[in-house]
Structure 1
Amino acid sequence: MQPDDRYVSPLASRNASPEMQAIWSPRRKFMTWRQLWIVLAEAEHELGLPVSGEQVAALRGAAEDLDLEAAAAYEKKLRHDVMAHVHAFGDVAPEARGIIHLGATSQFVNCNTELMLIRDALGLVAGKLASAIDRLATFAAEHRSLATLGYTHLQPAQPTTVGKRACLWIQELSIGLAEVEHRLGMLPLRGVKGTTGTQASFLALFRALEGVDEAEAQRRVEALDRLVTEKLGWPADRRLPISGQTYPRVIDGLVASSLGAVAAAAHKMATDLRLLASRKEIEEPFETSQIGSSAMAYKRNPMRSERICGLSRFVIGMIQTPFVTAAEQWMERTLDDSSTRRLTLPEPFLALDGVLELLNNVSAGLVVYPAVIRANLEAELPFMATEEILMAAARRGVDRQDAHEAIRQHSMAAARCVKERGGANDLIERLRGEPLFEGIALEDALDASLFIGRAPEQVDLFIDEVVGPIRERYAGALGHEAELKV
């Protein structure tokens, strides 16, 4: 079979970055297994088990000598992936063969590795998300006062500013970032727990040592769990106090939910951009040689925003399965989680990574068309100015209800002119001929700055209070250069 005859996931070929793919790669996984075996052996040596310093050194010296083909050959024979890699590691560190995986179960390497990969992947997500927030904040500050038509129910509503709307996008993304940071801060390590979580195998090893009584054996088992956790760079107080054979699978669902929160925020922003592009107000970057349509040569399709929406929908859809898997675990563990978790652990990360690559690219190159924004706003502004005109008339002694009825009738007539005949909004001209409004400077009511409230000041405050701390925390991750694939 030729390479092109095999299915290749588009998450790898079209979307996820090399950095995220590396985290979930076979080499990263199996190298982490070896790291765990080395740390376990080192801790066992320090606590007096029959593991020599020379054996630990042998494992360290052979750690990089990873032959995946040899491991695959062992797995084909043994039908067990962990034991296949135990044998492959033993082949390159023969003097330590007998102590590799001493006292451990397969989930010592599987569960701890998965949690370490989740940690690294969450960290990558957080950095890219912070970079997108930073870029959007720069965009928001630049357009803090640019008045634009606001919408509720996708119908024209009170004006806002382009910068204020961008801050709404940032706010949801920052909530997603807080979710990711919270999940990182709560993520535990399984530690050293044994076959069903009782640590019986390790207790037996320490009980067999000469001069070690029961109390000391108990103490050393607890010390082993703590020492391995710390050697892996994990806070000792964030290891699971107890476990079955695996770490609680509900953690996977919580991680997926945090990713889903980011995806939902990205989807919302990209949807808004698609709607704004249809009104020719704001567009995503469009390269000089880019083709929007194979038939309609004039098209500038918002393909980046569309891909953000599509991939985000996939991430959101992946939330359910991890929770169902957690709910259906039997007693201390059942193996029906393994095959599905090979998909539900990496794929939401790979898809969201693609979203964040796109989000960074779009945020860095948004194109604004102020003239179109102004024209669209002015087409609706006469309707919105009527409240100010009504108040001005009342201040001049006109009966409010009479003024309200006159405005209502003229507004309906102007709307019919726009909708039925495709004419311009002539409401102000109609009101100018209305005796009730004589002497009122109607044009003054069309000043858009009268309708945007504190939007510019809200942008300034938001960037200072919300974006500023994010920029400080992620200073080294800002300005991420996204490489997009077709």
Structure 2
Amino acid sequence: MPVHAIETRYRTNEMYALFTEEYKLQKWLDVEIALIKAHVKLGNIPPDAVDEVARKGKTSIVTLQRVKEIEREIHHDIMAMVKGFAEQCEGDTGKYIHLGATSYDIVDTAWALIFKDALSLLEKRLKTLLEILTSHATSKRELVCVGRTHGQHAIPTTYGMKFANWADEFARHLARLQDIKVRDVVGKFGGAVGTMASHVSSGIQLQRYIMDELGLIPNLISTQIVHRDRHAEIMFWTALVASTISKIAKEIRDLQRNELAEMFEPFAKKQVGSSTMASKRNPHKSERLCGLYRLLAAHVMPAMENNALIEHERDLTNSSVERIMFPENFILLDFMLVQFTSILQGIEINKAGIRKNLELTKGAIMSEYVMVELVGKGMSRQEAHEVLRQVAIRCRQEGISFKQGIQEDNRVGTYFKSNEIDDLFDPSRYIGAAPELVDRTVASIRDKWLKDE
């Protein structure tokens, strides 16, 4: 019976498949096959070994069940794989399997293969998400709304600005990913302490052959393991992407509040919001994303400690952590991206709610615009700020509009004609370069990341 929620709830089949025990075993076998091929190229073993390991190095032959059976006897998972592989090979081929290797030559190089596949899938998800975000940014480039700072109404902005800012952040995640694929997704074949001593004088060439066969970048230097600063960076990246998802999901949740009612996550025709309050429309998918982010973030510290606390040329304290941390962060992030993309595809914008909120402070959100215009007409900036601060206090106390407060204040009203005052309280006149900023951000993202999509 399943125990972990990943198995039944928080996963996609594509990413889940990359972290099954069967898939990991196949990657171990693939690395062992590449090792045999490299030895053949160097003339260390007979050429016919290649065909034999290629035929037998499959999980349909070297089964997970058999490898686990051997592991229960010898208490070593890599040697269990080696023995299970060797016993399936005919002739003398089995004796060459794992020649000159140590366990983490296999484990870390296999992790690199899995990371390569997993990051490729996440890259595809991010580009799909960027398509949706940039589309929203363009279509809402002039949809004026309240900007909020410190939880308070600030000045007008646009929904195009919101979506363009979010798109820009995800574009940075894609840029970081390109660096990670080069810097951190590496294989190694340095042997017991990284010196390649078991390969005599051919270690560097052997490693190059293996990595060329597997399509990986070879590690420049290592101990027995790939240094865990690389893996820590990958884990941090997954958490960082998740943090952006959580930030936007929180924004959706806040804007879906009854008091704001500007933006809503999709709600299916037969969807139930509450088991007791039939009227509820809870943003539970966005809440779910905020919750899952916490798990990914929580794995950053163990990843750091895997790098910080390892002993000498290696110990085994990283292994148990990584068997949990790597699958969880990749599987959960992939689920989050798919769920988040689905939310944004069906996001609902309530223009009536947006307009209501623009008018909620009775014009006070235009105070900066009024101040700028007063300075343009000759009042000092500091005087204008202080006068408008006093007007705002009076308006709050008396419950009158900011426009009325200005019209009735002799220090301000005399600076403006009647039609000018009307213009000062049109939020669409004070969005600055928002449309242009949106357009150039969208154009940059599409040119760099979506041109061939």
Does TM, scored on the shorter chain, surpass 0.5? yes
Q: CA RMSD in A?
A: 2.4
Picking from 232, 251, 254, the partner of 1:275 is 254
Equivalent residue letter for 1:62: K
Task: Indicate if the aligned counterparts of 1:15 and 1:353 stay in contact, CA closer than 8 A.
Answer: no
Q: Does the C-alpha gap of structure 1 residues 243 and 283 become closer, same or farther in structure 2, counting only changes over 3 Å?
A: same
What is aligned with 1:186? 183
1:440 matches 2:418: yes
Equivalent residue letter for 2:173: G
1:32 matches 2:8: no
What is aligned with 2:235? 256
| Residues 393-440 of structure 1, C-alpha deviations (whole Å, 9 max, x = no match) | 78889999998777555432332355xxxxxx5333454455663642
User: 2-side partners of 1:406 and 1:221: how far apart?
Assistant: 78
Equivalent residue letter for 2:6: L
Structure 1 residues 76-115: aligned runs within 5 Å: 76-95=72-91, 96-115=93-112
| Residues 318-376 of structure 1, C-alpha deviations (whole Å, 9 max, x = no match) | 11111111111111111122111111222111221121111111121111011110111
Structure 1 residues 208-247: aligned runs within 5 Å: 218=201, 220-234=202-216, 238-247=217-226
Equivalent residue letter for 1:56: V
- More relative contact order in 1 or in 2 (CA 8 Å, sep 6+)? 1
Picking from 283, 292, 296, the partner of 1:311 is 292
Task: Indicate if the aligned counterparts of 2:253 and 2:287 stay in contact, CA closer than 8 A.
Answer: yes
| Residues 175-233 of structure 1, C-alpha deviations (whole Å, 9 max, x = no match) | 22222221112125333222222222221xxxxxxxxxxxxxx2x33221111111111
- Local SS of the residue matching 2:267: coil
Any unmatched runs of 5+ in structure 2? Answer: none
Q: Does the C-alpha gap of structure 1 residues 456 and 467 become closer, same or farther in structure 2, counting only changes over 3 Å?
A: same
Structure 1 residues 5-24: aligned runs within 5 Å: 8-24=3-19
Task: Indicate if the aligned counterparts of 1:252 and 1:322 stay in contact, CA closer than 8 A.
Answer: yes
Equivalent residue letter for 2:427: A
User: 2-side partners of 1:400 and 1:55: how far apart?
Assistant: 83
Q: Does the C-alpha gap of structure 1 residues 391 and 252 become closer, same or farther in structure 2, counting only changes over 3 Å?
A: closer
What is aligned with 1:132? 129
| Residues 254-287 of structure 1, C-alpha deviations (whole Å, 9 max, x = no match) | 1111112211211111111111111110111111
Count of residues in Structure 1 that have an aligned counterpart in Structure 2: 444
Picking from 324, 344, 362, the partner of 2:305 is 324
Structure 1 position 16, deviation (Å): 1.9
Q: Does the C-alpha gap of structure 1 residues 82 and 457 become closer, same or farther in structure 2, counting only changes over 3 Å?
A: same
1:428 matches 2:403: yes
What is aligned with 1:212? none
User: 1-side partners of 2:245 and 2:376: how far apart?
Assistant: 47
Q: Does the C-alpha gap of structure 1 residues 400 and 302 become closer, same or farther in structure 2, counting only changes over 3 Å?
A: closer
- Local SS of the residue matching 1:92: coil
- Local SS of the residue matching 2:187: coil
- Local SS of the residue matching 2:147: strand
Task: Indicate if the aligned counterparts of 1:169 and 1:268 stay in contact, CA closer than 8 A.
Answer: no
What is aligned with 2:324? 343
Q: TM-score, normalised by structure 2?
A: 0.91
Q: Does the C-alpha gap of structure 1 residues 225 and 135 become closer, same or farther in structure 2, counting only changes over 3 Å?
A: same
User: 2-side partners of 1:396 and 1:97: how far apart?
Assistant: 90
What is aligned with 2:278? 297
Q: Does the C-alpha gap of structure 1 residues 398 and 461 become closer, same or farther in structure 2, counting only changes over 3 Å?
A: closer
1:199 matches 2:196: yes
User: 1-side partners of 2:368 and 2:406: how far apart?
Assistant: 13
What is aligned with 1:56? 50
Q: Does the C-alpha gap of structure 1 residues 150 and 21 become closer, same or farther in structure 2, counting only changes over 3 Å?
A: same
Q: TM-score, normalised by structure 1?
A: 0.85
Q: Does the C-alpha gap of structure 1 residues 333 and 440 become closer, same or farther in structure 2, counting only changes over 3 Å?
A: same
User: 1-side partners of 2:409 and 2:423: how far apart?
Assistant: 17
User: 1-side partners of 2:41 and 2:277: how far apart?
Assistant: 71
- Local SS of the residue matching 1:380: coil
Equivalent residue letter for 2:39: E
User: 2-side partners of 1:403 and 1:189: how far apart?
Assistant: 60
Equivalent residue letter for 2:226: Y
What is aligned with 1:208? none
Q: Does the C-alpha gap of structure 1 residues 402 and 70 become closer, same or farther in structure 2, counting only changes over 3 Å?
A: closer
Structure 1 position 444, deviation (Å): 2.2
Task: Indicate if the aligned counterparts of 1:11 and 1:354 stay in contact, CA closer than 8 A.
Answer: no
User: 2-side partners of 1:302 and 1:110: how far apart?
Assistant: 41
The more displaced of 404-413 and 370-379 is 404-413
Equivalent residue letter for 2:441: F
User: 1-side partners of 2:73 and 2:191: how far apart?
Assistant: 25
User: 2-side partners of 1:32 and 1:245: how far apart?
Assistant: 19
User: 1-side partners of 2:134 and 2:118: how far apart?
Assistant: 24
User: 1-side partners of 2:378 and 2:42: how far apart?
Assistant: 92
Identity level (%): 29
Task: Indicate if the aligned counterparts of 1:140 and 1:459 stay in contact, CA closer than 8 A.
Answer: yes
User: 1-side partners of 2:380 and 2:43: how far apart?
Assistant: 95
- Local SS of the residue matching 1:150: strand
- Local SS of the residue matching 2:131: helix
User: 2-side partners of 1:315 and 1:280: how far apart?
Assistant: 30
Q: Does the C-alpha gap of structure 1 residues 253 and 360 become closer, same or farther in structure 2, counting only changes over 3 Å?
A: same
Equivalent residue letter for 1:25: T
User: 2-side partners of 1:244 and 1:469: how far apart?
Assistant: 38
User: 2-side partners of 1:306 and 1:372: how far apart?
Assistant: 22
